[in-house]
Amino acid sequence: MEEKMKTEDKQLYAMRHSLAHIMATAVTTIWPDAKLGVGPVVDNGFYYDIDLGEASVSEEDFKRIEKEMYRVINAKQPFEHSNKPIDEAITWAQGSNQPYKEELLNDLKRAGTTLASDLDAEELGTITSGDSAVGEVSFYTNGEFTDLCRGPHVESTDKVGAFKLMRVAGAYWRGKEGNPQMQRLYGVAFATKEELHEHLRLLEEAKKRDHRKLGQELDLFVLSDLVGPGLPLFTPRGTVLRQELIRFSEDLQREAGYQAVWAPHMTRVELYKTSGHFDKYPERFDVSSVESTDEFMLKPMNCPHVAQIYASRPRSYRDLPIRYMETTTMYRDEKSGELHGLSRVRALTQDDSHAFVRHDQIKDEISAIMEMVKRMYAVLDLPLSVDLSFRDDSDNYFGEKSLWADAEKMLEDVAKDQDLDYKIERGEAAFYGPKIDIYISDALGRRWQCATVQLDYVQPERFDLTYIDQDNGSKRPAMIHKAILGSIERFLSVYIEHTAGKFPVWLAPEQVRVITVNQEDKTIEYAETVQQEATRLGLRAEVDNSNESVGKKIRNATLMKVPYTIVVGDKEIETNQVIPRIREDMIVQAGERPIGMNEFLKTVAHEHKARVTKTSL
RNA sequence: GCCCUGAUAGCUCAGUGGUAGAGCGCAUCCAUGGUAAGGAUGAGGUCGUGGGUUCAAUCCCCACUCAGGGCUCCA
């Protein structure tokens, strides 16, 4: 990591890391009994894990801690590096009553201190002894506070830029569930005040765009205690979004030769015992039968089911590739604390597909899938980046190593051919094969995994899938799993926040709102005629003839982020022309232009069909 | 699952050991209004659920459920 860092990144890293020490200095000043865990740098800031025993820190204490931190900063204490022999370091930890540090040091000693940098960096946090001599560990001291630490640090405590303590959270010691839980104090930090303010502004913006808030405001989905956690219900408006996205995905797949199939949402558990998923997947919903002794489960994925369709009859090499698609819901019993709005749910819908291919067809098939992915996200205006998720040396994977190497090479070849911006992640593969994981970056610069392509030699083996080759021999096909949107629910959570609810016309639940100037019969009649014509053209239009002022009705349409609003009264009835009010993000040329009502509707219908983001009006 | 915080009207939230309030929304009426909030009146709450303390609990205590922030996990 360090060797790739630019100078300014290094400087910022040192600032954040130094702030972690300064915060620990402040905390140990206020609570002298505080036991310290680790205090590393994270995205945008730093944290320190502390254990106050019976006491606890709350966010109300932040003022006090920050005040103490400023005292340390203003004292301009130099950061001084020193090395201690390991045994002396352990004595230090015992003497200063720091059991967590002592544990780390004992581990370092056991591993041989010079090996420290090869240990799991996360497990050890910042603590390694990379810069120290054999048998010694590295320390940094500022003023009265000394900490086991590899550095780097700024020269003195006043050179740390701008920071703010953000929150306190629980965290297990060394990230292991069985370990004692400590309190993690998070802060954000930047080189300048301006950057800090910009970051805080982004957080505010993210809060405003939170899909749970917008889902409520725009009437897209609801949660019901009676239905249960992690089981969102979609309103008519939210369902439009789902269906339009699914239609787009299925259109792309149909063009690429995929055929729709359908599988029930539950199965005998034997299916999953055969596929090998059963033991790897404890988060399943069991379903019991009153009528038989069979054990059932809800499907947590779709591949084993679809494999049975392939297996239902003999296949010839001439038949391949066989491509099945199914947009279907699967059920995963996520732990309650892991659920989050639409992004982590217990019933998730995927635009799933499985292609059964000969070995010589794999590359072309994966390339074709990547083309679909690129088209989808170009239309959705979301930039992509790609991880190749490969296996590591552990034995968590099924299948022969040579096949894996072969499969991984094939995925990398496709990534190269397609000129994808990719990096390789070892240890991130599925147990049955390597993956191409596609990430999208949203308007706030956050990165999310949605689409995935997975190459699988294991399930064809487990289900004994075959085809007859030209030499009349029985051969094993490969299976290619893919989802373009991934989970529709998770995709929507990202997309709602990306667009802040300002959906392009083709996705907007309501595309045109017709506002009446008064409640006279002829006005309402005219508005309804416009709505009917819009519906005839395949558009989604609503009439607002409520007993409110025009200003109020405009405001309501604006708040609902409706792309086009038209106001109708005597003028429009007479001329059959309107000046549409266009949502500002879609406007290319400024200025209001009158347009014939029919031409207006036809233009919107065209924009809907072409799935464009901007308007020609 | 674990730690911390929370739950009061459809929504956003104030408040109190002596059974409740605002704004928005909703309903009715007046106003017939021309591009981001016209006016008046009214309905609407077992204060998340169960237990405990108390003469008395929406408020204090405990448990549970759900939600939020994290941890862990995400085939």
Summarised one tens digit per residue, pLDDT across range A85-109 is: 888 888 888 888 888 888 888 877 7
Strands A541-544 and A512-516: parallel
At A598-615, the pLDDT tens digits run 999 999 999 999 999 998
- % pLDDT > 70, chain A: 92
Contact between A48 and A189 under an 8 Å Cβ cutoff? The reply is no
Give the pair of three-digit tokens for residue A293.
Answer: 């002794």
Could you give phi then psi for residue A311, rounded to 5 degrees?
-75, -5
Q: Give the model's confidence band at A130: pLDDT under 50 very low, under 70 low, under 90 confident, else very high.
A: very low
Query: Tokens at residue A264, please?
Result: 């029930």
Q: Which nucleotide is nearest to A430 (CA to C1')?
A: B75
Dihedral of alpha carbons A173, A176, A180, A182, sign: positive
Whole-angstrom distance, CA of residue A265 vs CA of residue A284: 12
For residue A591, what are the contacts with CB-CB under 8 A and spacing of at least 6?
none
Residue A121: pLDDT band with limits 50, 70, 90 = very low
**E strands along A41-161, which residues?**
41-42, 45-51, 79-85, 136-142, 145-148
Q: How far apart are CA A68 and CA A62, in angstroms?
A: 10
pLDDT at A266: 93
The question of ipTM being above 0.85 is answered as yes
Tell me chain A's radius of gyration from C-alpha atoms: 30
CA–CA gap between residue A554 and residue A515 (Å, rounded): 8
Of the given ranges (A53-62, A194-203, A539-548), which has the lowest mean pLDDT?
A53-62
Q: Is the minimum distance from the CB of A525 to strand B below 7 Å?
A: no
What per-residue confidence (pLDDT) applies to A574? Answer: 92
Give me the A residues in range 440-499 that sit within 7 A (CB) of strand B. 454
Give the confidence band of A425 by pLDDT, cuts at 50, 70, 90.
confident
Q: Tell me, what's the pLDDT at A397?
A: 83
Q: Of the ranges A277-286, A393-402, A598-607, which is most confident?
A: A598-607
| pLDDT at residue A116, rounded to an integer | 39
Q: Which residues of A are catalytic?
A: 303, 332, 350, 352, 354, 435, 481
Chain A window 8-27, residues with Cβ within 7 A of nucleic strand B: none
Confidence band of A178 (pLDDT split at 50, 70, 90): low
Give the per-residue pLDDT at A544: 94
Where does residue A330 rank: exposed (0-12), middle (13-18), buried (19+ CB within 10 A)? middle
Nucleotide B39 C1' to residue A555 CA (A): 19
Mean pLDDT value of segment A19-27: 87
Q: Which nucleotides of B are covered by protein (CB under 7 A)?
A: 1-5, 11-12, 25-26, 29-38, 65-75
pLDDT of A566 above 90: yes
Chain-wide mean pLDDT for chain A? 85
Rounded CA–C1' distance between A242 and B64, in angstroms: 35
Question: Which 3 state secondary structure label does DSSP give A543?
Answer: strand
Return the pLDDT at A177.
Answer: 60
Contact A215, A221 (CB under 8 A): yes
Considering only CA atoms, which of A51, A35, A14 is closest in space to residue A126? A14
What is the C-alpha separation between A453 and A357, in angstroms, rounded?
Answer: 14
Least confident residue range of A9-13, A326-330, A505-509, A536-540? A9-13
Q: Which whole number is the average pLDDT over A293-300?
A: 90
With a 7 Å cutoff on the CB, does A431 touch strand B? yes
What is the rounded CA–CA span in Å between residue A374 and residue A360? 23
Mean pLDDT to the nearest integer, A516-536: 94
pLDDT at A68: 85
Phi, psi at A94, each rounded to 5°? -65, -45
Task: Return the pLDDT at A125.
Answer: 35
Q: Are A49 and A69 in contact (CB under 8 A)?
A: no
pLDDT of residue A115: 36
pLDDT band, very low/low/confident/very high, at A128 (cuts 50, 70, 90): very low
| A300 CA – B53 C1', rounded, Å | 48
Q: How far is the CA of A229 from the C1' of B48 (A)?
A: 15
Comparing A231-240, A502-511, A575-584, A586-595, the range with the smallest average pLDDT is A586-595
Q: Is the CB of A567 under 7 A from strand B?
A: yes
Stated as kind and residue range, the H or E segment containing A299 is: none
What is the total residue count of chain A? Answer: 617
Higher pLDDT, A550 or A26: A550
Taking the stretch 319-348 of protein chain A, residues with Cβ within 7 Å of any atom in nucleic acid chain B are 332, 334-341, 344
Question: 3-state SS string over A33-54?
Answer: CCEECCCCEECCEEEEEEECCC
What is the average per-residue pLDDT within A532-560? 95
